[in-house]
Chain A
């Protein structure tokens, strides 16, 4: 019984951390229509910033400032935000699939930097020994994970409420207006370029936050955790849950991560150890199938966008 609870806690921590990335992507794609195919790159920046700011100091590698956890989270968001401003200025005038190709390339480039700039990132070995903020508060892994889950739930709750507020604000309505018809929005005096950049940067900062929470939980950062498949997973979570709906984003994260871990568990039990690589491939095939089948039979996702009618038009 303890085992099941422990596993559930562990599962929820990771699912909700992914959920934060999905919330960020939802702001970009769901509400604003920005096709960011570089999610993995922005989570990586958050993750490495966290590792550099809060990790222990080491020889021959930059950073290790041993700063508090909260500073790490804020720093991760700022770093992702700064990169997002640069990337956004360079690419946001591109439309749809060209933006997708460009952001995909950015994520590949960021991963190359993580892999090769050893002084900053520790190269292929990554950075280890990143402190878990729950350590001083509890004894034993289960209690520590429970506290970490609490932290993650608080962050998710804050993000969720903030995003719900901003998408219902005038600014949020501008996002949807730009998504639906940019020229019409511009003719009403809105500045699409500026608003698109703002949505892109905020979304990327949220992805950075998710990356930071991830490394503080698992205790190390490795360039192999930020391959393009992470981007595909996050996208699948959003599509399955339903884009332009923050509840859908979190639901999708839990369902898709559930399928991923369950299939991984079954594979590790059923498939002989010499075929474990193939077992991992089976998981990826399953994610691909879920994505394609969802698009074919329920393109708006499990809970898609709620339709809003202006209260002025109702009477």
Chain B
């Protein structure tokens, strides 16, 4: 059972890690705790649904790929979902957060993110209703791994995709000019600006990366669990726990934080009743803020 919990923990941790990248970046580079970030996961999951229903109505059903429960349309839907979620994030930035950052303090942005979260979450209920939805009704056979661990092919795909995304982001952050500029802005926006970095463009990138990570996490959650309006909201504490654990602004910190959150949530059921599982990320947050307030990869405040 222990190994099964570890496997489940890594899988749910990968989703949390992907989702937490944007939250971690926004805490560091936009300098506010964005409580509406988790709703981008929900919108990511439902955006893919929009694409799938269009694809389905135009061309009937597609064959599934190999052992997976999905076909080519879902892969394209992931791209579409990243796009639509990024557009939503940029609109929010343009019409709410950017204006507030100019006229008011960053606490006002946190309040606004409460309001935005309420709007986004309940818009989903308005449009799609509150019943859970699934991308596919295909039945999948679990693969039996050594140690009596069962995983679904979709979950293997989830883990692979997470690894690919993290490597791609790492290359982007270390090799591309935009990525290096982004790290500069994270260090010091003023210094970056006088060095000729276009800070506004960098911030646009931060939103796109954060929203795309959230969208992918949402789709993967929808694929392996289910799609429902509280999808993102139920992950809000795990996401914050991952971002804080890893240290704001750190790519690996967010992913590693996600894995720690996922593992401790799933392993906790061996010692506490399952019903109290949602409190585990909160305990992690308290512990990390108490002992290591900057997170594992966070740099000390200067």
Residues of chain A at the chain B interface (Cβ within 8 Å): 35, 90-91, 94, 96-98, 100-102, 104-106, 108-109, 112, 115-116, 228-229, 232, 235-236, 239, 277-278, 280-282, 284-285, 287-292, 295-296, 299
Contact = CB atoms under 8 A, between A and B. Distances in A.
Interface in B245-302: 273, 275-276, 278-279, 281-282, 285-286, 289-290, 293
Contact of A112 (B33, B100, B130, B278): B278
Nearest to B119: A288
Contacts of B286: 90-91, 102, 105
Contacts of A101: 33, 237, 240, 244, 285
B112 interface: yes
Contacts of A102: 282, 285-286, 289
A282 B126 contact: yes
Contacts of A285: 118-119, 122-123, 126
A280 B237 CA distance: 24
B5 interface: no
Contact of B110 (A97, A108, A109): A97
B100 A108 contact: no
Given A97-B106, A290-B115, A296-B99, 6 more contacts: A96-B110, A97-B107, A98-B293, A104-B237, A287-B118, A291-B112
Interface string B47-64: 000000000000000000
B108, B122, B125, B130: most-surrounded residue (chain A CB, <10 A) = B122
B278 A108 contact: yes
Contact of A278 (B103, B125, B278): B125
Interface residues of B, number: 45
B141 interface: no
A229 B276 contact: no
Contacts of B282: 102, 105-106, 108-109
Interface string B90-107: 000000100110011011
Nearest to A94: B289
A91 B283 CA distance: 12
A105 B126 contact: no
Contact of A116 (B119, B130, B244, B273): B273
A239 B113 CA distance: 13
A3 B233 CA distance: 39
B122 A108 contact: no
Contact of A289 (B107, B110, B115, B240): B115
8 contacts: A90-B286, A100-B110, A104-B237, A105-B285, A116-B273, A232-B118, A288-B114, A295-B100
A295 B104 contact: yes
A100 B118 contact: no
Nearest to A300: B104
A296 B236 CA distance: 25
Contacts of B112: 291-292, 295-296
B279 A108 contact: yes
A153 to B, nearest CB: 29
Contacts of B103: 299
5 pairs of A and B residues whose beta carbons are closest in the complex: A105-B282, A288-B118, A291-B115, A97-B33, A281-B125
B119 A289 contact: yes
B57 to A, nearest CB: 23
A44 B279 CA distance: 17
B245 to A, nearest CB: 12
B144 to A, nearest CB: 34
Contacts of A287: 115, 118
B129 interface: yes
A98 B116 CA distance: 19
Given A102-B286, A282-B126, A291 B114 contact: yes
Nearest to B110: A97
B111 interface: yes
A284 B275 contact: no
Contacts of B104: 295, 299
A232 B114 contact: yes
Interface string B227-242: 0000001001100100
Interface string B18-52: 00000000010000110100000000000000000
A193 B108 CA distance: 24
B10 interface: no
B183 interface: no
A280 B126 CA distance: 9
Contacts of A292: 96, 112, 115-116, 119
B130 A284 contact: no
B110 A291 contact: no
A288 B275 contact: no
Interface in B1-17: none
Contact of A296 (B96, B273, B278): B96
A115 B32 CA distance: 32
A160 B121 CA distance: 35
Contacts of A236: 114-115
B260 to A, nearest CB: 16
B163 to A, nearest CB: 28
Contacts of B110: 35, 96-97, 100
